[in-house]
Amino acid sequence: MADVVIIGGGVIGLTAAYELAGEGLAVEVLDQVQFGREASWAGAGLLPPGNLSHAKTPGAKLRAASHKLWPRLTAELREATGIDNGYVNCGGIEMRVGGPKGQLDDLAQSWRDEGVEIEELDTDSALELEPNLNPETVSAFRLPEKCQVRNPRHVKALVAACATRNVNLSAGTRVVGFTSSNGKYTGVRTTQETIQAGQILVCAGAWTGKLMASVGFQVPVRPVRGQMVLMSTNALPVRHLLGYGSRYLVPRPDGRILVGSTEEWVGFHKQNTAGGVAELLRFAATLVPSLVNVGFEQCWSGLRPESADHLPYLGSVGGTENLFVAAGHFRSGLQMSPASALLIRQTMLGQEPMIPIEPYAVGRSGSFSDGG
């Protein structure tokens, strides 16, 4: 019997498995497809900064705690597996093209309020830093501590690191329900067998709401499709992560450039659309006009796990002793994975939580504002 069975082997389930196995527990992770091939593979790997001593909101706290943990986790994974996850501090620039100056003032102020370093840039200083930016950039600021990770490599490193901690990893194993006895959960039912477990942790990403509803629990998480485009070039036109509202460009050190991403409420459909890809290409050329001459490599999409208040669910499922959830990270699951995993480990093992866990309670009330 496993001490803990984890349902879902994305970045959240794998990091939690790594944490729990590090405490000497026998952990098994089940994934209905392959490990780390859903949202955690599809994402861009943007890792915004934070400052734990100034962070006020629950989202800012989880982001700041994770920001602090990323360098250590990266070093540990490299040491254990030899895999470089591509974590690097390349800095980010938030910018606006055309329109009135000062559009970014509120956003800049909110970073300052959080105690995060920012540098305001006018058109000249932005172009000095990044000469290929659109010369019509009217305002911008730099976030020197914004980092990136190569998320497909990171999940590969997590899988390998879990194996070094004897985590049992079963791909192609879909969980369809739970078993219980005397009011306590005793295991999970897959399409093939029943697996006994001391504790159960649901990390099923965008599928969490569906799985929990099938056993009578309301954990409102729904899929939001995000399309991505990948370009490649021999000479990167920019070095910083560029942000414009909810869209961004991510220059990878090997000459690739990611362009993301759409937000689409279309259920569990993962295909790319001509309109989505065209929009992203147009966006890329607005920020960096010379990108029209760069090679188009491929496109894909993934399903973000959206919760109603855009905060993850972390903790036990009300009224149960040994059923837990870590899911619903929406646009920030890669960034927030180190602290989320640590926090759920601390909760499951009755350890002192690194930050208060109550704001992420699974039973908090929440419904989507559009009624969906």
* Residue ranges binding ligand FAD (CB under 6 A): 7-13, 30-33, 38-40, 42-46, 174-175, 203-207, 211, 226, 228, 260-261, 302, 304-305, 327, 329-335
Q: How far is the CB of 227 from ligand FAD (least distance, A)?
A: 7
Pair 37, 359: CB distance under 8 Å: no
Which is nearer to ligand FAD, 261 or 316 (by Cβ)? Answer: 261
Q: How far is the CB of 331 from ligand FAD (least distance, A)?
A: 5
Which residues, other chains included, contact 132 with Cβ-Cβ below 8 Å and sequence gap of 6+? 237, 238, 288, 289, 290
Q: How many residues does the chain have?
A: 372
Provide the angle, in degrees to the nearest 10, between the axes of the packed helices 11-22 and 151-164: 30
Which is nearer to ligand FAD, 25 or 334 (by Cβ)? Answer: 334
Which is nearer to ligand FAD, 195 or 291 (by Cβ)? Answer: 195
Which is nearer to ligand FAD, 324 or 330 (by Cβ)? Answer: 330
Which is nearer to ligand FAD, 78 or 270 (by Cβ)? Answer: 270
DSSP readout, 241-308? EEEETTEEEEE-TTSEEEEE---B--TT-----HHHHHHHHHHHHHH-GGGGGSEEEEEEEEEEEEET
Tokens of 142: 């730099």
Which residues, other chains included, contact 210 with Cβ-Cβ below 8 Å and sequence gap of 6+? none
Pair 35, 179: CB distance under 8 Å: no
Q: How far is the CB of 266 from ligand FAD (least distance, A)?
A: 13
Looking up tokens 């989880």, which residue turns up? 62
Q: How far is the CB of 8 from ligand FAD (least distance, A)?
A: 3
Q: How far is the CB of 211 from ligand FAD (least distance, A)?
A: 5
How crowded is the C-beta side of 315, counted as CA atoms within 13 Å?
18
DSSP state, residue 322: S
Q: How far is the CB of 190 from ligand FAD (least distance, A)?
A: 7
Question: Rounded to an integer, what distance in angstroms lies between the CA atom of residue 150 and that of residue 127?
Answer: 27
Q: Is 338 helix (H, G, I), strand (E, B) or coil?
A: helix
Which is nearer to ligand FAD, 46 or 167 (by Cβ)? Answer: 46
Question: Rounded to an integer, what distance in angstroms lies between the CA atom of residue 220 and that of residue 83?
Answer: 35
Q: Is 214 helix (H, G, I), strand (E, B) or coil?
A: helix
Q: How far is the CB of 102 from ligand FAD (least distance, A)?
A: 27
Which is nearer to ligand FAD, 138 or 312 (by Cβ)? Answer: 312
Q: How far is the CB of 305 from ligand FAD (least distance, A)?
A: 5
Q: Which secondary-structure segment (H or E) carries 75?
A: helix 58-81
Which is nearer to ligand FAD, 294 or 314 (by Cβ)? Answer: 314
Question: Rounded to an integer, what distance in angstroms lies between the CA atom of residue 308 and that of residue 23?
Answer: 33
